Structure 1
Amino acid sequence: MGNFKSLKQELRLIKSLDKSNSVTFKYNEDFFSGSLEKGTKDFLLNINSSNRFKLGDMNNLKFQFQDYEITLTNFFERSREFCSRGGNSLTVKIFEFEINGFEQHLPYCRTIIPLKRSLSFNNILSDSFEDYETEESIIRGLLRIKIPNYSQIHVFIYEKDFLVIDGIEAMTKDIFSELSWSVLVGIGYITGYLPQDEEYFFYYNDSELIGDFNFSFKTMRNSIYSIYAPVNANSHAWRLPAKSADEYYGRIRELGIEHFSLLCNLIHDIPDIKAMLLLLVESVSSSMLLMPAGLSVVLEGISEYFYNKYSFRIAPIDDKQLSSRIIADLKDVLKNYQQDPHIKNFTVLNRKLETLNSPTNREKLKFPFNYLKIPIDKLAEEVIEFRNDFLHGNINLNPKKGRPVSMDSFEISLRLLTLINAIFMKMIGYDGLILNHAKLQEKGIGKDIYEEPFLKIE
């Protein structure tokens, strides 16, 4: 497939669905009329009939819309009004439907997501843009994402109102749905905007994504918005003194397409990474009660991921056979005391020996930074310690004996976010400056932060 993108017929269908439309459908042997109306991110089917049919009778409801036959696949009865002379008025809320005009085995797939607000890759990925051509013009704004085993995925914003994701190879609908979702999670992480709400899928036999298509609509969760991207090359985008912004202008590297491709691959291949980034995106758009707790779970998840993958590098005993022998010997010693009346729970003691060669939780939390050679200072270690408070219910950060609290939840959240971003950016090979959110949001924190606004990852 080249870089020619034709969306006229697809957008014509989407825009016609946005209007109130008259539809007809068949129930038993009778034909009925109704109207199809667009909701915020779903559809409503209004039916007026003298026939008192039930929703349960309409499991495979199909209706005619213009030249298309639409099959409802996920819907429920929203309301019903009865008339004393018989019949009823029925409103059906539709979450998913499809149009299947012809048989397909492995289609070429496209998803179009209407954008509720502006989405931009400028100063984040725009250096990686390629040109793409429409019927009217040539536009610079195509991202070519490389996914092993699936050739490439094309991503572009069309007419500022639609995010488009194209599959370049034929694949099943389910595989494409998973791939496009992984790309969306990556977009949500690097931009702070995870567009969802509603998705329109198009399935073609032609590799150029033109001609006849099958189609499906799906209601999604609400889109997520935040200002907390990990990288932004425009130092003047923040409330910095002009001298400081000028000093950094031109020094901050955008992500390369190779970095974003690797991020999408990690998200797609490793469910734990996908879950962590989703939780991060949701946490930074949440309240101050949820934000630090969510980010604490993300940091815990990262440390667990690295420990499971590289546990031999952090274990107190680096020889597995020696570790097993020592544990076995200690268990033999413990057995000698199994009947001692002072031992109330022998099983618990025995299980604790199983973890003898495990590092402390603090060492596990610091391990991703050590492994990736990301330096952390005493302040960062203090922030990591606060993660334990949020996970164990000290939500209000009540001072503990010997440890005063010098930061509020907002500052801790921003510092946790920066630490987490440093890990993910290093994992995808980014070598540049990331945003130091605590410094950039010092007015919101309410105190001066004597640090650089951008931190070097190398």
Structure 2
Amino acid sequence: MKESKNKNFATELKTIEQFESFKRYKVNLEDGFGEAYITKSKKDYQLSFDGVFPYSADKKIKILLNNEIFTLKSTDFKNPIHSRLAEIPAQHTFDIDGIYKGDLNNSTFFKMFFFDDSKSTNIFHYKLEKAKHDGIIPWAFECVRLTIMKKRYDITQHNDKENSYFIIENLDSVTLEEFSEDSYAIQKGIGFLIGYMPGGENYIFSGENFIYRSLSRNPLKTFFHPVTSNPYSKLYKSKEKEIADNYYGKLKVIPSSVISELITQLRYNMDFSVAIIFLMEVASLKSIVSMPGVFSVILESFANIIIIKQNKQEKLITDKDLVGDIIHDMNTVIDKHSKKIHPEAEIKMRRRINEINKPVNFNRLTNAEKLRAPFDQLKIKLSEAEEKAIDYRNYLLHGNILMNNETERTSEEIDNHMLYISAKLYTLISKLILKSCGYKGYVINHSKLYEQNRINSKEEYFEEI
């Protein structure tokens, strides 16, 4: 029987907790004369210094902390424009962009730590396939294993005392640059799949050496995520229990193969990567005014990315006799109403009928056809409501931001309608992304969950693709 080995992050977390606790902690500068203190304030490190500061052209200085040498990096450390100012003793406070211990450039195995502000425990549960025990690779309950170009990675949600962390680690050797690029793709992919993308700041460890980085992109949290295997997490009202019972056992988590394909796409396809970030950023704002318009743009972006380029021309119906029968029947209908139709209009209609089976040229599709083409290619059937949601793009292009039609609505009904359309578009985007990555199963139909008042569709709460 193989021995169970659990992941152990105690050494790294001890270092993180030590640095995070610094409140005006005294350090010594390798060069320069004066008193220096390092402080962690909220999500930023600061260096306070009183004396003649040793400015540096490379924006780095070395400090001695607990008898060990560390390097601090900050744009504030660059030489001042007037060099004489650098020679004057003064009190300074610098924002620190990075902290370095040792050199990670020759390392091949890393662990990246993010603070977890999701306020959700067991965040992968019911959403993603989790890593299995194998008795070889250290295991954790809340851990997802994926592959990027044959390189294996684990991402773990780890609770330690009062704090929670997301930890990305590589299981096959990579360079620091590869690890950083792969990890960013993992952040984005996992963020889309669970509705929370870690960010803000991180620590990268390799043995005792580490890097601290303050990141420009903060964590992103949305109320949307595409899949759950637990119908009761969405249908929890007493009147919905029977509906949830019907889905129980049918819904599945997203398999690791699909997770890996999605993250590989994010790693190597810049358009795909930017579109996912755009989707996450807008969804995190929770603005029902912004979401419909931007989601329409994002849907069009993904349609252009995912569409399979085809040079051939394709007839809709291959049976010539059937085409002839349809044209004959349609002309018969025109004959019946010809006295009520202007002669020129009748001629144009008959010409169009004769070309009803004209081959489709995939290089000359209209914008509306381009939006629908990837759904057709991936064999995702669009409902009438989904067709209408796609067409709302035209409202927005013509400045009708509130998507008003001839139906009178109150302000509350307009808000509900816009939330419904946003949720419908998000569901369509989810279907495209997941199906293009090989997913087969159910996705959450968010629009059904958010429909209110006049909107009372007969759609399913979970839709199979």
Shorter-chain TM-score tier: 0.7 to 0.9
Cα distance in 1 between the residues matched to 2:114 and 2:17? 12
| Amino acid paired to 1:422 | K
- Matched with 1:124 is 127
Change (3 A) 1:356 1:437: closer
Residue pairs, 1:257-276, within 5 angstroms: 257-276=256-275
| Alignment partner, residue 28 of structure 2 | 24
| 1:156-204 deviations in Å (ceiling 9; x for gaps) | 122261111111222221111110010111111010001101111113x
Q: Is the 8 A contact 2:196 2:221 kept in 1?
A: yes
2:213 to 207, 210, 217: 217
Q: Distance in 2 between matches of 1:218 and 1:104?
A: 19
Deviations 1:308-346 (A, max 9, x none): x41425789xxxxxxxxxxxxxxxxxxxxxxxxxxxxxx
Structure 2 residue aligned with 1:369, among 350, 372, 375?
Answer: 375
Identity %: 25
Q: How many residues align?
A: 392
Alignment of 1:38-53 (within 5 A): 38-49=40-51, 51=52, 53=53
Please name the residue that 2:333 is paired with: none
Matches within 5 A, 1:137-286: 139-149=140-150, 151-159=151-159, 161-203=164-206, 211-239=207-235, 240=237, 241-286=240-285
1:5 CA displacement: 3.1
Q: 1:449 aligns with which of 438, 443, 457?
A: 457
* Kept in 1: contact 2:132–2:139 (CA 8 A): no
Q: Quick one: structure 1 residues 89 and 392, their matched pair in 2 at CA, closer, same or farther if it must change by over 3 Å?
A: farther
- 1:303–1:10 Cα change, 3 Å: same
* Residue segments in structure 2 that go unaligned for 5+ positions in a row: 78-87, 316-360, 408-412
Task: Give distance in 1, aligned partners of 2:460 and 2:159.
Answer: 37
Tell me what 2:332 maps to: none
Instruction: Describe the shift of the 1:186–1:270 C-alpha distance in structure 2 as closer, same or farther (beyond 3 A).
Output: same
Which residue in 2 is equivalent to 1:325?
none
The answer to whether the 8 Å contact 1:4/1:132 transfers is no
**Distance between the aligned counterparts of 1:242 and 1:284, measured in 2?**
28
Find out whether 1:421 has 2:427 as its counterpart. no
Helix, strand or coil: the match of 1:265? helix
Q: Could you state the TM-score of these two structures normalised by the residue count of structure 1?
A: 0.77
Distance 1:138 1:222, change over 3 A: closer
Q: What is the match of residue 115 of structure 1?
A: 116
Question: Structure 1: where are the runs of 5+ without partners?
Answer: 78-85, 204-210, 317-354
Could you give the per-residue CA deviations for residues 391-420 of structure 1, whole angstroms, max 9, x where no partner exists? 45432324489xxx9983211111101111
Please identify, of 277-286 and 192-201, the stretch whose mean Cα deviation from structure 2 is larger. Answer: 277-286
Paired residue type of 1:394: N
Distance across 2 between alignment mates of 1:22 and 1:184: 35
The amino acid that maps onto 1:164 is I
SS where residue 69 of structure 2 aligns?
A: strand
Distance 1:104 1:313, change over 3 A: same
Tell me by how many angstroms 1:248 deviates.
1.4
Whether contact under 8 Å (2:124, 2:130) holds in the other structure is no
Report the Cα offset of residue 94 of structure 1. 1.3
Asked if residue 15 in structure 1 is aligned to residue 11 in structure 2, the reply is no
Pick one of 98, 101, 104 that aligns with 1:99. Answer: 101
Structure-2 separation of matches of 1:91 and 1:274: 37
Task: Name which of structure 1's ranges 162-171 and 193-202 shifts more when overlaid on structure 2.
Answer: 162-171
CA contact (8 A) 1:23 1:64 kept: yes
CA distance in 2, matches of 1:357, 1:138: 50
In structure 2, do the counterparts of structure 1 residues 235 and 8 end up closer, same or farther at CA, with 3 Å as the change threshold? same
> 1:42-70: per-residue Cα shift (whole Å, max 9, x none)?
21111123x3x485778322212224322
Displacement after TM superposition at 1:105 (Å): 2.5
TM-fit CA distance, 1:103? 7.2
* Alignment partners' CA distance in 2, 1:356 and 1:146: 34
Q: Give the drift of 1:111.
A: 0.6
Q: Mapping of 1:394-405 within 5 angstroms?
A: 394-399=400-405
